[in-house]
Amino acid sequence: MWRVSYAIQGLVLVGIACAAWVFDWLDDPWRWLAVVVALLDLVLGVFVIPVWRYRVHRWELTDRAVYTQTGWFNQERRVAPLNRVQTVDTDRGPIAQLFGLTTVQVTTASAKGALRIEGLDRATAERLVDELTTQAALDEGDAT
């Protein structure tokens, strides 16, 4: 999913860079730079970034909290106690649907924002949503 998303983005940038070349939108040294940057973005996005993301992004659900780890250079680990969970949402964009994947978003009473768990297969996402909803409902607090 990530490779296809980055490939689309990279091809759009390559197309814009080529259009800038053909229609003479940029001066000569900038034409080359635009094409090189667009091609570099395409290569990194298709071959490097998805592998890196797969190695870094993690999540876990326990009976007390949801844990996530994200980040590239600055890795961020977040813990959301289940008694702070306010909503649990799913998102399936067109590319995710193509691959049968879902993103689960857990909104908490945190200034940091929602936790996002990306790239789950549909069955895993549905189980996660059911577990989160059930466990969060067991707490008698108001999630604040």
For 52-104, the pLDDT digits (tens) are 888 899 999 998 999 999 987 888 999 999 988 999 999 999 999 999 999 99
The dihedral region occupied by 113, where left means phi > 0, alpha psi between -120 and 50, and beta the remainder, is left
Task: Lowest mean pLDDT of 22-36, 65-79, 93-107, 130-144, name the range.
Answer: 130-144
Distance CA 124, CA 21 (A): 46
Distance CA 45, CA 13 (A): 12
Whether this prediction's pTM lies above 0.75 is answered by yes
- Confidence at residue 144, expressed as pLDDT on a 0 to 100 scale: 57
Domain range 58-138, CATH class: mainly beta
Distance CA 116, CA 87 (A): 12
Confidence of residue 114 (pLDDT cuts 50, 70, 90): very high
Q: Which of 141, 138, 2, 114 is nearest to 59 (CA)?
A: 114
Distance CA 19, CA 95 (A): 26
Checking if the pLDDT of 132 tops 70, the result is yes
Checking if the pLDDT of 140 tops 80, the result is no
95-98 LR contacts (CB < 8 Å, sep 24+): 95/1, 95/4, 95/5, 95/8, 96/1, 98/1, 98/4
As a whole number, the mean pLDDT across the chain is 91
Confidence of residue 111 (pLDDT cuts 50, 70, 90): confident
What is the DSSP-derived secondary structure letter of residue 46?
I
> Residue 120: how many CB atoms within 10 A of its CB?
20
